[in-house]
Each structure stands twice: as C-alpha cells, then as structure tokens.
Structure 1
Amino acid sequence: MHHTMTTHTAPRRWRTAAVAALLALGGTGAALAQTYPDKPLKVVVGFPPGGAADQIARLVSTPLATALGQPVVVENRAGANGNIAGDAVAKSPADGYTLLLSSGGMVSVNPHLSRMSFDPVKDLTPVASAARVLVYLMARPTLEAKNVQELVAYAKAHPGKLTYGSAGSGSSPHLAGEMLKAQTGMFTVHVPYRGAAPALADLMGGQIDYYFDPGIGLAHAKAGRTKLLAVGSLKRSPLFPDVPTLDEAGLKGFDADSVFGFYAPAATPPAVIARLNTEINKILATASVKERITALGGEALPLSPAEFGKRGMDDSQRFGAIIRDRKITAD
C-alpha cells in the first residue's frame, strides 16, 4: 500500500491547489499554524438567520470559539442561493480567519444553473462537513393520498392538477420535486417561493398540495398540520423511524440529501485546515450537538476535507444530471 492512497478521494484540482499553496508559502504554513489563531474568526453564512444553515453555523461556532480560544463571529450574507457569501469568502485573505458555512448546493447545484462570479471548486477549499440535511415529502393535511403510491396514482389520474411548492428555483426542495416527477412520470405544477417557510405556510393553508420540506416543518408534521409521506433520502430519519424512504416506496435510488459544511479560500494553509477540521469534527461528535442537528431534521456528518470534497463532486454529478434532464433554470 503506498502512502498517497488517502489523498485519492480529493478532486485533483483541490490537491494541486493545496500543494501549490504549500510551496508558495515556503514553509511558513507550519509557522502560521503554530500561532493560529491569534485574532477572531468570522463564519459567513449564505442564508438568512433562523434557517438550517444559520442554525448549524451558530451551533458549531460557539464551541469552536472555546476550542480555539478566539471569538467566532457569524455573519449572514444571504442571496443568490448562497453565491453572494461564497463569492465574498472566495475573495477573502486565505489565512484561516474567514470561513464559509454553505449548503452543498453552492458546489453541487449552482454551477449547473447560472454563471457564477467565482468557481467554488477552484476558489474555495473544503474544510469540514457539518451535517447531512434531509428533505421530507409532505402533503397538505386534506389531500386524499395516504402514502407515496396514492399521491403518484392521483397525480397521474389528474395530470397538471396538483401543485408543489419549493424554497425557490434550483433549491434542494425543487430538485427533489423534479426527481420525483422524473422517476414516476407524474405531471404536477411547480410553485417557487422565496424560502421554505412561506411554502410551508401555504401547504398548511391548503394553497399547494405537497412539497419537500428541509426540516422546518417537522414539528407541524408531528402535530398533524401536514401529512408526512416519505423521506427523500436513502436512509430513514431517526426522528421518524416509521416513515419510509422514497427508495423503499419504490423510487429506487432516490437521494435528494445535501451536505452543509465549512469552506475556506483556496490557498488557506493545509495545516490550518487540518486544525479546523479536527476541532469541528470533535464538536460534531458531542452528544448535545448531534441531538440539536437531529432535531433540525439532519444528521451530524464528520468527514475529512478530502471526503467532504469528494461528496461535493458526487452530488454535483447527481444533481447536474437532473438539472439537465429537466431543463431546470434559476429564478
């Protein structure tokens, strides 16, 4: 077994960038890592306060500040499906003091939808994954369908009659909705919202028939205000062990999970990334953080930077295919 095996999982461009950064620093990376951090860190979140990305960022940042002995400030810069925050961090100094917390969509979805002002693969480097975020297929409480099969049968018997909401064109709930249509051949009408919260409100109010919920509607599902039909993942949710996955409901291989995690500017010294990865993974292993992420409808997911990078590339292929097949465009 030769010693390079562990790095094979990282995309070549990310490996080359890391090596180039190390050479350019001429060994100062190790010196920097010894004094790092000696000032506050900033975590830029590409989504508004209160959403899953923001909650995960704050959940990790508090213990991270304790572990590093420096304040960690969370800053929300919402817009363009996370691209505004991604651009800001890509253009920040590569010194480990500015991090991005993003949904996986910035790497795996956005490049397929529109021209970006930066290349997330070349201009950012994966630091640590935080959570696997699931989507949950929910119907309005008054919809006749009791399960996925009945929903599909009804939609096929009444083409174009049912509507489904999403958190916006190109969002993971929208892609999940298109995956459902592609795999079943049913025809329903997409209604994009500005975020998941207004879509959920209209679902409970009966204005739309179903949608894929990114975790914010789970308390409502438990209370019977929405009808939870299935999980859009290959694994059941620990919160709802009795609810089948779409894969189990007959949609083989259905997987609309996305991975939220931390990124840094591309030339950030590997020693600094290794330190951040170690600390974040320790935090993700603590019972309290695991429980909070589970309560959000997700699952804590500690990975190495290389594993996190590979996951982004795999997701990019999967989502890119559905975006091309369904001719999905951004708003």
Structure 2
Amino acid sequence: MLRRTLLASLAIPALAHAQGAWPSRPLRIVVPFPPGGLADLLARPLAVRLQTALGQPVVVENRPGAGGNIGADAVAKAAPDGYTWLLGSIGPLAANQFLFASMPYDTRTAFAPTALLVNTPKVIVVNKDRPWRSLGELIAAAKAAPDSLRAGSAGNGSSLHIAIELLKQQSGAAITHVPYRGAAPAVTDLVSGQIDLMIDNLPNILPQIREGGVRALAVATPERLPQIPNVPTTAEAGLPSFIFGTWFGLAAPARTPAEIVSRMASAVDAALREPEIGGRLAEQGAVVGGGTPEAFASFIAAQTASLEGVIRAAKIRAD
C-alpha cells in the first residue's frame, strides 16, 4: 500500500509537468472534407497562426468521406493528448448521427468541444428572372402550385437540404428538392434557370448576389448582415423561426485534458480576432466565432436538438 501511494504521488507531478509542457511536438488538424472546401480554407490560415502562437508545427490533414465521418472517427479514436484535433462541422459534430443508419463513433461522447470557429448564415436566393421579389411571394407561389418549384442543394443530407426541409416545415409550402453533388453545380443551374431557388451559405453565393446572377430574398439570421444590408431577415419577411446556418468548430478527442483544451481555445480565439483571419472571414460573409469550450459545447447541444427534429420529421437520409 505504501509503495502504491508513493508511486501515485510521483505520477501526479509527472503528469502535470507533461500537460504543462504542451505542446512539445507537432500538432495535427484533421479536416474531414476534401481540399479546397470551406473547412479546408479555414483550417490552413488558422494552422499558420496557431503554429506561431503555440511554437510547434501545425499540420492540416484532409481525410474526407462519409459526410465527414471518416476523418472525425480518426480523431475520435486518436490519443487524447492534445496533438490531434478535428476541424468539424454541423455534420460530423451534430447532424450525421441522424442522417446515417450507423455511425463509427458516438457523437455525444466522442469529442471534447473546444471552440466555435465560424457560422456561415444561410440566404434564400432565386433565379434573377423569376418574378418573386420577397420571401412571402415565393412561399405563396409554392403553395399555389405545390411541388412545382425546384430547390437545389449540395446533396441529400447536406445542410442545404436540411434548410430546404426546414423552410417547408415552417412555411407549409410544398417544394421539390433537387440534390446535386456539391453546391457549385447547383448554383450553376440556379443562375441558368434550371432550378428556381437555393438556400445557400452566404460565402458561397455572395459573389452571385453582388454580380446580379441571383436575387436574395431573405437571410436566415436574427439581424441583417453587413455584407448584404438591403436583404431582410426571415423574421422581417414573415418567417421568424427560420434561423439556420452552417458552422465549423474545433474539437479534440474525448478525455483530452481540460487545461489543454482551454489553452487551444484561447489560441483560436486570439487568432480569430486578427484581421488576417477573422476580418477576412467576415468580408466573405461568415460570422466569426471564438469563445470558451463550455460555450461551444452548449451550442452543439442546442444545434443537435434542433437538427434532430427537422431531420426526423422530413425523414432525411444521407447519400
């Protein structure tokens, strides 16, 4: 008994020293999506800033597949030592558990939420040649001719698809969902008039709005956005409960020491306050996050509860 007590007393300061020395080697940020996407474009400048702040190389690794589940699973099963992080999104951190028949990890317990990075607001847009000038006119047209309006998305189970189903549930309008393999081809067909509308992420559709290729009817945010100040909110347009966005955040494997998670959250928060990162993201239409791990955990919990209701009611399944 005395020997075990002595060994335990020696182990405690050793562990504290190991945690205090973090980081002492390169870190890895896993992006569970292909290179070139929004998550990847967010991860790379963030990694550069974190490398400076933490004094160790920060490597970005793309591990796409299964809606983000493959990369997320790799992080969930990694050692909880503060050297592997997930740049996750609404899918692998919240929605996928309701979209896939089976999951390789338990979304509720697999991760230690660290920091909200950005929230990209959704904006309801229509082809510029369509007659609707307001969200009310769009909904009225959809109700007058059920299922005649075609709404494009980035694919079954995507956040764009979930947004369409949420609009249908809250407005009572019958709209036909048209899934694409990614948002880009859907935008192309929207501009050419092959489909009628989209509910897209603002950074993705903002260039088309500014160039006049599409007409923005409403933003799914509590307040108007500075990038498109003349576009009303969904509340102003008569649909106050339609608030929706795609978000990205950093998470560690569960059981990562709280001190390490807190230190990483502080480093991320500082990086997002810099014009080179946060300022540029805001210019592109994103709402910059930051904050504490506790705040991000509460945010994920609220989002999960909301998403579950929409997905189950619409019986959405991922491709």
| Counterpart check, 1:231 vs 2:219 | yes
Deviation at 1:296, TM superposition (A): 2.9
Q: 1:325 to 1:169 in 2, by over 3 A?
A: same
1:39-98 superposed Cα distances (whole Å, 9 cap, x missing partner): 111111122222221111123111111101111111112222211111011111111111
Task: Tell me the residue number matched to 2:48.
Answer: 62
Q: 2: distance between equivalents of 1:26 and 1:81?
A: 40
Tell whether the 8 Å contact from 1:48 to 1:76 is kept in structure 2 after alignment: yes
Task: Tell me the residue number matched to 1:327.
Answer: 315
Counterparts of 1:309-328 in structure 2, within 5 Å, are: 309-328=297-316
Task: Tell me the residue number matched to 2:110.
Answer: 123
Q: 1:151 to 1:272 in 2, by over 3 A?
A: same
| Paired letter, 1:180 | L
Tell whether the 8 Å contact from 1:113 to 1:330 is kept in structure 2 after alignment: yes
Q: 2: distance between equivalents of 1:94 and 1:253?
A: 39
Task: Tell me the residue number matched to 2:178.
Answer: 191
Q: 1: distance between equivalents of 2:168 and 2:151?
A: 11
1:166-207 superposed Cα distances (whole Å, 9 cap, x missing partner): 111121111111111111111111111122112111111211
Larger radius of gyration: 2
Taking only aligned residues, the RMSD between alpha carbons, in angstroms, comes to 1.5
For this pair of structures, how many residues does the alignment match?
A: 307
Tell whether the 8 Å contact from 1:52 to 1:296 is kept in structure 2 after alignment: no
Aligned to 1:197, what secondary structure does the other structure show? helix
| Counterpart check, 1:216 vs 2:204 | yes
Task: Tell me the residue number matched to 1:204.
Answer: 191
Deviation at 1:283, TM superposition (A): 0.8
Counterpart among 101, 121, 143 of residue 134 in structure 1: 121
Aligned to 2:312, what secondary structure does the other structure show? helix
| Paired letter, 2:274 | T
Counterpart among 127, 133, 141 of residue 154 in structure 1: 141
Task: Tell me the residue number matched to 2:8.
Answer: none
Deviation at 1:29, TM superposition (A): 4.7
| Paired letter, 1:226 | V
- My pick for the range that moved more, 295-304 or 308-317, is 295-304
Task: Tell me the residue number matched to 1:104.
Answer: 90
| Paired letter, 1:321 | G
Normalised TM-score (structure 1): 0.89
Q: 1: distance between equivalents of 2:233 and 2:15?
A: 45
Name structure 2 gaps, 5 residues minimum: 1-10
Name structure 1 gaps, 5 residues minimum: 1-24
| Paired letter, 1:135 | K
Q: 1: distance between equivalents of 2:91 and 2:233?
A: 21
Task: Tell me the residue number matched to 2:62.
Answer: 76
- My pick for the range that moved more, 306-315 or 40-49, is 40-49
